[in-house]
Structure 1
Amino acid sequence: MNRNFKEWFSTFSPSISDYSYYTDFEKILKNVDSIKVELNILNSLIGSNNISHDFIDLVKKYPDTLKCIPILLAVRSNEIFIKDKDKELIYNFNKPNMNFSDYGIFMEKTGLFSLMEKSKIKDLVDYVTGVETGLDSNSRKNRGGHIMENLVESHISKYCQEHGFEYFKEMRSRDVELKWNIDLGDISNNDKVIKRFDFVIKTNTCAYLIEANFYSSQGSKLNETARSYKNIAIEMKNVEGAEFIWFTDGYGWKSARNNLEETFDNMKHIYNIKDLNSGILDEIIV
């Protein structure tokens, strides 16, 4: 099949985002609810005239409130590292490893005392809900990947049901080798590198190893992704009983267009969403 990269690339999609892509409020509210009691206890410090003293008294009585502090700084960790002049400190907020007064110093120097003392925030539950919403935006890339995987799987599932084939999700190269006696040593460096495929379709004559991803934003990582898949495609040419298929799409590829074109020129099976919708599986799976 002779294809023109420029024509193919012109059919890429700007987005596949559904309503659930932007913010996962169910997860956000679950995270907030898990520390809601402790946050409400800390609310008593808002507007305090002697916040350092009141904080130490409070955490002595309610030490579990310490676990809320990292998220106030938009940090998802029980430990926070601090370089303080000639000292290196690690504050543990799950299992206190310092005096409560030291945690007071942490609150002061990070600006949290100022935030609460001067009533710049009114309610820590609402504040943390906002922080969680902001942090959740970092998960959009993963959600975008899952949306693409779900889209590809819907086509794979329909095709396999119609033709009586099996397909498998998230299958490691080693498992492919053991299940069907296919030598994938070239792509796994003789099992030194674990390679996991998003999907594997097994027909009577071939195992189709499938990767699926979507990139809505640009970045240098895409150049490496294109090179990596090109190398896999080249190495797969010597493998008997298996084919490598890559479904990718998204305007993020604009920044790595040249690398993608090089991969396109070296891959037998590289397709986008338009190809899927046009029934490409019927043409390539036998």
Structure 2
Amino acid sequence: MPIRQHRPPTDEFVEEFQDTIVPSAIPSDEFINWDGIESDIENYEAQIEAILDLEDVSESEFVEGLTDALMDADDTRKWIDFYFELLGERGNKYSAYEGVWKFYDVQRAIDRGDRESARSLADILQEIGLQYVVDEADVRDHYRGMLVGMESHARKNRQGFCFENLVEERVEHIANQLRENGHSVETDDEYTTEYNDESGQKKTVDFAMFEDGELSLVVEANAYKVGGSKPSEIRRSYNHVAQRMRNDDIAFVWITDGQGWEKSLANVLRQSYDDIVDLYNLEQAETHLPRDVVNFFETGEV
């Protein structure tokens, strides 16, 4: 059974939830990871200095210079990654109409002393425009700009990381309340538990809370900056997990937030609340969840 004590009708819950949504879990001062960007630039200082020596040379000299650098590199892949990142490309390969350059294969060939592989890669880098960047731009400033542009992808991971930090603060606050009330409570993150049945299946949860060493409550945390099908898929999955956890006398709590839950996902939110019940956004996790969890630990009532 759910632990939620404050159970308004579904439409009232949806209105309350959507009125208190936090649009994003990323604070403005963490929107761009400037420390990480400057660390990346510093990490490639040797590569930057080397490529600056190729400024204003001929095309053939540029290609030969890149080839020499690749052949002399202690860490060939690091040099390959740097060259392509200067051109805004990250990954394990470069693909074009002319062919595919798989970086691992190229690295192995160069490390075996295959100068033709190094020259082939140098040729394609020159053709893409690496020489243009070296001749026409400040390489460090250009690379800094490329890294800022790549931050949009990094923010997808940062969103989840920041949200989990916010949820962890609330979980620890509740745990401290329980300790003050005399409960022997411990918490863990990324905890894996087996279901108490014959399936042998396991479930890893974002946060787990134990009393006297026994698992009592689990928390899953998800933030959605945009809508789409993902929240609906997670709802179905968590409904199944919640039922199995409750069969094992373990409370299941889902804390979720983000502007993805605004009006377009109202129906998914209704279904989530009707099915799971112990559903909270960050605001509700502050106003309602502590009382719900304390009641659950002190009375065992739901």
TM-score category of the 2 structures, normalised to the smaller one: 0.7 to 0.9
RMSD: 2.7
- Identical aligned residues as a percent: 23
Q: For the residues of structure 1 that align with 2:123 and 2:63, how far apart are their CA atoms?
A: 10
Q: For the residues of structure 2 that align with 1:25 and 1:147, how far apart are their CA atoms?
A: 16
Q: SS at the partner of 1:75?
A: coil
| Offset, 1:66 | 4.2
Residue 69 of structure 1 pairs with residue 83 of structure 2: yes
In the other structure, the counterpart of 2:182 is none
Q: For the residues of structure 2 that align with 1:141 and 1:7, how far apart are their CA atoms?
A: 27
Structure 2: give runs of 5+ residues left out of the alignment: 74-78, 180-184, 298-302
In the other structure, the counterpart of 1:244 is 252
Query: 130-139 or 107-116, which moves further after superposition?
Result: 107-116
Alignment of 1:107-256 (within 5 A): 107-116=125-134, 119-121=135-137, 123-164=138-179, 165-174=185-194, 183=196, 190-191=200-201, 195-203=203-211, 207-237=216-246, 239-254=247-262, 255-256=264-265
In the other structure, the counterpart of 1:179 is none
Structure 1 contact 211–245 (Cα < 8 Å) conserved: yes
Q: For the residues of structure 2 that align with 1:258 and 1:157, how far apart are their CA atoms?
A: 31
Residue 264 of structure 1 pairs with residue 256 of structure 2: no
| Offset, 1:171 | 0.3
In the other structure, the counterpart of 1:40 is 49
Q: For the residues of structure 2 that align with 1:30 and 1:264, how far apart are their CA atoms?
A: 44
| Offset, 1:28 | 1.2
In the other structure, the counterpart of 2:76 is none
Query: 224-233 or 31-40, which moves further after superposition?
Result: 224-233
Structure 2 contact 47–82 (Cα < 8 Å) conserved: yes
Structure 2 contact 23–225 (Cα < 8 Å) conserved: yes
**Equivalent AA in structure 1 for residue 16 of structure 2:** W
Structure 1 contact 245–270 (Cα < 8 Å) conserved: yes
In the other structure, the counterpart of 1:12 is 21
Structure 2 contact 101–121 (Cα < 8 Å) conserved: no
Structure 2 contact 226–260 (Cα < 8 Å) conserved: yes
Describe the superposition over 1:184-231 as per-residue Cα deviations: whole angstroms up to 9, x where unpaired: 66xxx632xx53211111236861011112222333322222222223
Describe the superposition over 1:136-190 as per-residue Cα deviations: whole angstroms up to 9, x where unpaired: 232223222222222222222222223221111110124xxxxxxx6166xxx63
User: Would you tell me which structure has more helix in proportion to its own residues?
Assistant: 2
Structure 1 contact 22–137 (Cα < 8 Å) conserved: no
Q: How many residues align?
A: 267
| Offset, 1:260 | 2.5
**Equivalent AA in structure 1 for residue 168 of structure 2:** E
**Equivalent AA in structure 2 for residue 11 of structure 1:** T
Structure 1 contact 70–80 (Cα < 8 Å) conserved: no
Q: SS at the partner of 2:277?
A: coil
Compared with structure 1, are the counterparts of its residues 54 and 139 closer, same or farther at alpha carbon in structure 2 (3 Å cutoff)? Answer: closer
Q: For the residues of structure 2 that align with 1:167 and 1:130, how far apart are their CA atoms?
A: 41
* Structure with larger RCO (C-alpha < 8 A, sep 6+): 2
Compared with structure 1, are the counterparts of its residues 90 and 163 closer, same or farther at alpha carbon in structure 2 (3 Å cutoff)? Answer: closer
| Offset, 1:88 | 4.5
Compared with structure 1, are the counterparts of its residues 274 and 252 closer, same or farther at alpha carbon in structure 2 (3 Å cutoff)? Answer: same
Structure 1: give runs of 5+ residues left out of the alignment: 175-181
